[in-house]
């Protein structure tokens, strides 16, 4: 029995930002390398065999019928790169990033990025792992690359950087145009069923296809598990595990939090600048953080919650301060207002201290304070209840939002088994990884896309070094 194998210089599994960009960078390197060699025309002139001359002039793809015992396919074109994508179109998750506006990266020095990533076995593991990738291809290099291809950018006050037309499709079009220019072959509707390491590289089988593919090197850039409808269905974990890699259990990240017996449902849609979160577990304070907060119908969201979600577990307590004031400062301010305006309604004073009208009324209700209560008649215990509802309100975590709605995936391929300088496997030579398939997750603000492009670039460099060697 025999089957057809198409041979390539490199195969990339996943046509998201990391995979496409790695293919482009590798193709550019290969083109520059080939430019220094004799031209195909001059090679053909020196070949006496007409059939061989034809092969030199038409090196797009070579396939052959080979036995199932692993015999090699025919010679591979040394400039050919294949990208396999399981969905019908590339980079579907990119198109919904930043609500379709594509928050490509973040402003500021690249060393400031390092504290915005989670992952790895210990604190700062992800930062140490990503440092070379980010420094090798930083935010300025990313903006310059797209800028040279006609994309203009604008920076928001919070540092988020978007294409000026606010269209993720513009970013994808550049990637697709470059892939087309470099003759990168992209096969969509091609879900990789299995990958096998052999003496001369890797054999890849695609679901529902009678042909297989071979290459001396493979990059897995399939993304994580979040938003599975876009193609991020965890295939990369299965493929990596089949080759011996350890997978850190995937879980939601950049996810909203669902609160048990949530009392603030009526305030859904309210947002707060510079709120504070204290994460408590079994009575111990695990972390504190400030940022923008959003109240939802089921719990809490916004950048403050999303960026903290990688650390949050069911049954944790989230203690929220809705104001910039500390508890003591707010207590002193409230006392001063109560003494200065004894006839004022308490709910009106709360509004003057920074709470919205609806929030002030709800907090009075939760503190068992009738809405007609004046400052002079407010008992001390109720006053303290108001202070804690405003500046130290506890919320019991029921669960995180599912992977269907989480923006990214925490967990993935164990960083200890990947070389941070090349993105190559420490277990299987010639196997590379890039992007969200790794045990890395970034904060909101463009950090995840930057990591995808940076790791994709470093993987391409590592693959290029392997070609040279």
**Minimum mean pLDDT range among 4-18, 35-49, 86-100, 111-125:** 35-49
For position 48, what pLDDT does the model report?
A: 42
* Co-location of 436 and 336 in the same domain: no
**Minimum mean pLDDT range among 3-12, 224-233, 275-284, 420-429:** 224-233
pLDDT band at 232 (very low <50, low <70, confident <90, very high): confident
Do residues 422 and 432 make contact, with C-beta atoms less than 8 angstroms apart?
yes
The alpha carbon of residue 364 and the mean position of all alpha carbons in its chain are separated, in whole angstroms, by 41
* Co-location of 11 and 96 in the same domain: yes
- For 432-448, the pLDDT digits (tens) are 999 999 999 999 999 99
* Co-location of 211 and 281 in the same domain: no
Whole-model pTM?
0.87
| Of 401, 423, 452, the domain-final residue | 401
Do residues 138 and 463 make contact, with C-beta atoms less than 8 angstroms apart?
no
For position 200, what pLDDT does the model report?
A: 84
Q: Is the pLDDT of residue 195 over 70?
A: yes
* Co-location of 34 and 170 in the same domain: yes
| Of 366, 401, 436, the domain-final residue | 401
Q: Residue 296 belongs to what domain range?
A: 256-401
Q: How many residues does the chain have?
A: 469
Q: Report the CATH number that the domain containing residue 30 is assigned in CATH.
A: 3.50.50.60
pLDDT band at 44 (very low <50, low <70, confident <90, very high): very low
pLDDT band at 233 (very low <50, low <70, confident <90, very high): confident
Do residues 113 and 405 make contact, with C-beta atoms less than 8 angstroms apart?
no
pLDDT band at 467 (very low <50, low <70, confident <90, very high): confident
Q: Is the pLDDT of residue 71 over 70?
A: no
What DSSP string runs through 131-175? HHHHHHS-HHHHHHHHHTTT--EEE-TTSEEEETT--HHHHHHHH
For residue 359, count other CB atoms closer than 10 A to its CB. 22
* Co-location of 305 and 202 in the same domain: no
pLDDT band at 40 (very low <50, low <70, confident <90, very high): very low
Task: Express as a percent the part of the chain with pLDDT over 70.
Answer: 89
DSSP state of 425: B
* Co-location of 274 and 235 in the same domain: no
For residue 380, count other CB atoms closer than 10 A to its CB. 8
For position 36, what pLDDT does the model report?
A: 63
Q: Is the pLDDT of residue 53 over 50?
A: no
């Amino acid at each position: 029995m025999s089957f057809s194998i198409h041979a390539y210089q490199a195969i990339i599994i996943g046509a998201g930002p990391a995979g496409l960009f790695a293919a482009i960078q590798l193709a550019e390197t290969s083109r520059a390398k080939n430019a220094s060699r004799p031209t195909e025309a001059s090679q053909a002139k020196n070949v006496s065999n007409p059939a061989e001359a034809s092969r030199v002039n038409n090196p797009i793809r070579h396939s052959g019928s080979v036995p199932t015992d692993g015999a090699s396919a025919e010679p591979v074109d040394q400039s050919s790169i294949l990208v396999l994508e399981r969905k019908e179109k590339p980079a579907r998750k990119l198109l919904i990033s930043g609500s379709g506006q594509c928050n490509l990266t973040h402003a500021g020095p690249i060393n400031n990025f390092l504290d915005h990533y989670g992952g790895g076995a210990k604190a700062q593991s992800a930062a140490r792992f990503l440092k070379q990738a980010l420094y090798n291809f930083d935010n300025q290099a990313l903006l310059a690359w797209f800028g040279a291809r006609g994309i203009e950018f604008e920076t928001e006050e919070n540092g988020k950087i978007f294409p000026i037309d606010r269209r993720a499709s513009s970013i994808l079009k550049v990637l697709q145009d470059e892939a087309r220019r470099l003759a990168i072959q992209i096969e969509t509707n091609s879900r990789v069923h299995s990958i096998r390491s052999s003496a001369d590289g890797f054999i890849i089988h695609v679901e529902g296809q009678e042909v297989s593919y071979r290459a001396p090197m493979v990059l897995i850039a399939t993304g994580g598990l979040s938003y599975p409808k876009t193609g991020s269905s965890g295939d990369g974990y299965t493929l990596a595990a089949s080759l011996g890699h350890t997978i850190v259990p995937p879980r939601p990240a950049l996810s909203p939090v669902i609160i048990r017996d949530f009392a603030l449902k009526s305030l859904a849609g309210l947002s707060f600048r510079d709120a504070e979160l204290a994460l408590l577990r079994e009575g111990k304070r695990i972390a504190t953080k400030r940022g923008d907060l959003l109240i939802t119908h089921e719990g809490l969201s916004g950048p403050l919650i999303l960026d903290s979600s990688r650390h949050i577990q069911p049954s944790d307590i989230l203690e929220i301060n809705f104001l910039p004031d500390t508890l003591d400062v707010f207590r002193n301010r409230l006392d001063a207002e109560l003494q200065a305006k004894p006839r004022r309604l308490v709910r009106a004073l709360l509004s003057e201290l920074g709470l919205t009208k609806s929030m002030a009324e709800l907090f009075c209700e939760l503190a068992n304070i009738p809405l007609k209560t004046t400052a002079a008649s407010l008992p001390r215990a109720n006053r303290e209840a108001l202070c804690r509802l405003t500046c130290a309100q506890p919320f019991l975590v029921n669960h995180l939002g599912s992977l269907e709605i989480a923006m990214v995936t925490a967990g993935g391929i164990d960083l200890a088994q990947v070389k941070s300088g090349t993105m190559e496997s420490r277990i299987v030579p010639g196997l590379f990884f890039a992007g969200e398939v790794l045990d890395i997750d970034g904060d909101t603000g463009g950090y995840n896309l930057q990591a995808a492009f940076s790791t994709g670039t470093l993987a391409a460099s590592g693959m290029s070094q392997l070609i040279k060697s």
